[in-house]
Copies of this chain bind each other. A is one copy, B any other.
Amino acid sequence: MDTKDRSNDSPARERAYEFLKEAVLTGRFSPGERLAEEHLAKTMGFSRTPIREALHKLESEGLIKPMATRGFVASQDSPEEVDELFEIRAVLEGYALRVICGRMDDGILVQLEDCIARAEEALKAESLDRVFEWNTRFHDILHEVVTDRRRLYHQMVTMRQYVLRYRKNTLQYPDGGQRTVDGHRKILMALRLRDPDLCERVMREHIQQSKTDALQFLFPQKEVQ
């Protein structure tokens, strides 16, 4: 039935968006590099129209920045901006865990437990890729519980993907992986206790911890306040 190539049936605007997002998140643009519509259009084989729409969407998500007069640049984030991003994440994820706490069932708890166990294994095996994978899965499972809270879900997903690009490297920092897994363990415990206040606090601290790690990785010379 559906024999057509799937990559071709989504609208050009979406493909352009995915392509550019990927490019920004993997740092394929040098920081401050100007994003010229015509050039991008030619490179990707679209016209300027879908490119423009993709650029505007990326801007609304804060992935690129408008220049003073016109056009966009691939933004290099300042330490302050990274800090703020993580802080907002911490606050939203904390609140989300509070909501999630009220919706817990044993099936999910088992899944989370499993994630942690596998991440631990990967840690012992010193396979950071797999640690990263299972840590990611841990948060995915939690987010899935609140997909019906669309604003919240959308924001969390957006912000997390924004951050995942350097999150991986962060794990390589001394004990970064261990700290993350410990954080997840605390989160699981708070969920088991069905304590919303504790849930919120623990999640917030977890994200703030990862903020510290990320800042130290990204800006090693700077003091983190």
Residues of chain B lying within 8 A (CB to CB) of residue A152: 84, 87-88
Let me know if B84 and A88 touch, CB within 8 A: no
> Once bound together, how far apart are the Cα atoms of A53 and B61, in whole Å?
15
Among B81, B92, B94, B151, the residue within 8 A (CB) of A62 is B151
User: Interface code A85-124, partner B: CB below 8 Å = 1, 0 otherwise?
Assistant: 1011001101100000000000000000000000000000
Among B52, B53, B95, B150, the residue within 8 A (CB) of A91 is B95
Say what secondary structure dominates the interface of chain A.
helix
Identify which of residues 53-99 in chain A touch chain B, using a CB-to-CB cut-off of 8 Å. 53, 56-57, 60-62, 81, 84-85, 87-88, 91-92, 94-95
> Once bound together, how far apart are the Cα atoms of A95 and B84, in whole Å?
11
Identify which of residues 141-166 in chain A touch chain B, using a CB-to-CB cut-off of 8 Å. 149-152, 155
Let me know if B92 and A149 touch, CB within 8 A: no
**By the criterion of a CB under 8 Å from any partner CB, how many residues of chain A are at the interface?**
21
Let me know if B85 and A151 touch, CB within 8 A: yes
- Expressed in whole angstroms, the minimum distance between the Cβ of A68 and any Cβ of chain B is 15
> Once bound together, how far apart are the Cα atoms of A84 and B154, in whole Å?
12
Q: Assess A84 versus B53: contact at CB under 8 Å? Given A60-B60, A92-B91.
A: no
13 of the cross-chain contacts (CB-CB < 8 Å) are A52-B53, A56-B56, A56-B57, A60-B61, A81-B150, A84-B150, A84-B151, A84-B152, A87-B95, A88-B95, A88-B152, A91-B94, A92-B92
Other contacts beyond A81-B150, A88-B155: 10, CB < 8 A: A52-B53, A56-B56, A57-B60, A60-B60, A62-B151, A81-B151, A84-B151, A85-B151, A87-B152, A92-B92
